[in-house]
A = this chain, B = another copy of it.
Amino acid sequence: MGISVIGTYHTKFGILEQTLYDLILEAGRGAIEDAGIDPAEIDGIWVGNLSGGGFNDQDHIAPFTVDIHPDLRFVPANRVENACASGSAAIECAKYAIESGEQKFALVIGVEKMTQRDTKDITKLLAQSSYWPEEGGKGMTFPGLFAEYAKGYMAHYGYSLEELRKDLARIAAKNHVNALENPLAQMPMDITAEKILNKPDNKNPVIADPLRLFDCSLVSDGAAALVLAPTETAKALKEEVVEIAAVGHTTDYLSIFKRSNYELTAGKLAVRKAFETAGITLDDVDFVEVHDCFTINELLSYEALGIAPDGQGRRALDEGIVYPDGKLPVNLSGGLKAKGHPVGATGASMAVLAARQLLGNAIGIQAKDPEVGVTFNVGGSAASNYVLVLRRIE
C-alpha cells in the first residue's frame, strides 16, 4: 500500500512567542484544515520531538494533541524521538500505522521550542544526543562532533583548511540566499562566500576548529505537520497527490569515534535503501532537502546522495548542480542553516517543504515542475539516518 500526504502546515521558524503547546496546536490544526477532512476522521497522531523534557520541562507531550480539536479526544497519540531526526521518525511510524490498515488518516507533528533557554543549557541538552559517557559528558558538543567530520574529511582526502573553508562558505551563502524567498525562514541573508570568508574573526569566530559561526545552523522554535493517508484514499480526495514512495532508515553507532569520520556511512545506506524501494536513481530526483546542521554535513550529503563522487563533494558547487537553477537544487528552503532548526520539527519540515514543492506551491523558491523530491534527515552525529522519497502522482 502506498501512503500519501493530503495536508501540510509549516509555522514560522525562529525566536517565537508561542509555547511548545501553542506550536503543536497551530501545526496540527493547520494540517487538518489543509487536508480538508473532518478532524473526527483522524485515527492516530505521531509527534516528533527531541526534548520537551529538557527544553520545556515537559515530557509526555503526545496528549497535548487532544486540544487540537474536541474530536481528537481519545485518539491514540505517541511521541517518537531520534534526536534531530525525530520528525522523520514520526513520519516513519505513521507510515507503518497506515500500511498496517489500523490507521487511515494519521496526523504527524514535528515540534521543538528551544530559544527561551540560554545558550549553555541548549548546548548541553543537544549534547545529550551524542554518546554522553564519552562525548557530551566529556565536553564534546555537536559543533565539536561535526568538526571531527571536517577534520577527518581534510585528512582522508588531503584537503587544506583553506580549500575546505571555501567550500563550506559557498554552502552557507547558498542557503542564506535561498532563504530570502522563504517567508517562514529564520535568517535569510543576501551574502556571498567571499563576504563570509573575508569576515574578521570576531564576526565569524571559530566555534569548533575548523568550523566557524557561519558553518553552524540555528537555534529555533517551530513546528511542521502533515496529514497522511493511503494513496488510494488521497487520490479520491485530491486532484494531485504526493506519495511518500520510500523511507530509508538506518542506524549506526551513537559515537562518531566508532565509525568513519570522513563520510556518512549509514547515510549512504539509507539513500540506497530509499532509492531501491522507490525504484528511482538520482537522475529521477528534482530537488533535495538535506540536513545542513553544519555546512560540512551538507558537503558530506552530496557524496552520500551520489551528487558528487566521494571526496569531491565540492564539484556539486563547482558545477552549479545544487544551486536553485542547477540540475539538482539542494535546500531551496534555506536549509537548517537559514530556514532554522527546531530540532524535533526538522524532519517534518523537510517533508512539508518537499510536498509543497511537488504540488507547485513551494514555501520559497519553486523548483521547475518537479516530480520527485528527496529529504535526508540526520539524528546525532549521523547515527540515525532517514531518507524519504516523495513523488507527485495524478
At the interface with chain B, which of A74-82, A152-160, A302-310? A74-82
Q: Which listed residue, B75, B251, B269, touches A251 by the CB 8 Å rule?
A: B75
Q: Which chain B residue has the least Cβ–Cβ distance from A76?
A: B249
Q: How far, in Å, is A121 (CB) from chain B's closest CB?
A: 12
Q: Which listed residue, B53, B79, B125, B251, touches A62 by the CB 8 Å rule?
A: B251
Q: Bound complex: CA of A92 vs CA of B94, how far in Å? A: 12
Q: How far, in Å, is A290 (CB) from chain B's closest CB?
A: 19
A257 within 8 A of B: no
A50-91 Cβ-contact flags toward B at 8 Å (1 or 0) = 111110111110111111000001111111111100000100
Contact assessment for B78 and A80 in the assembled complex, using a CB-CB cutoff below 8 Å: yes
Residues of chain B with a CB closer than 8 A to A52's CB: 128
A249-276 Cβ-contact flags toward B at 8 Å (1 or 0) = 1111110000000000010010000000
Chain A interfacial residues counted at CB < 8 A: 62
Quick one: given A66-B254, A128-B53, are A59 and B83 in contact (CB under 8 Å)? Answer: yes
Q: How far, in Å, is A13 (CB) from chain B's closest CB?
A: 21
Contact assessment for A83 and B54 in the assembled complex, using a CB-CB cutoff below 8 Å: no
Q: How far, in Å, is A237 (CB) from chain B's closest CB?
A: 22
Residues of chain B with a CB closer than 8 A to A118's CB: none
Residues of chain B with a CB closer than 8 A to A92's CB: 76, 78
Q: Residues of A with Cβ closer than 8 Å to B?
A: 19, 21, 45, 50-54, 56-60, 62-67, 73-83, 89, 92-93, 95-103, 125, 128-130, 132-133, 136-137, 249-254, 266, 269, 379-380, 383-384
| 9 A-B residue pairings within 8 Å (CB atoms) | A45-B251, A54-B54, A54-B59, A66-B251, A78-B92, A79-B80, A79-B81, A80-B80, A100-B100
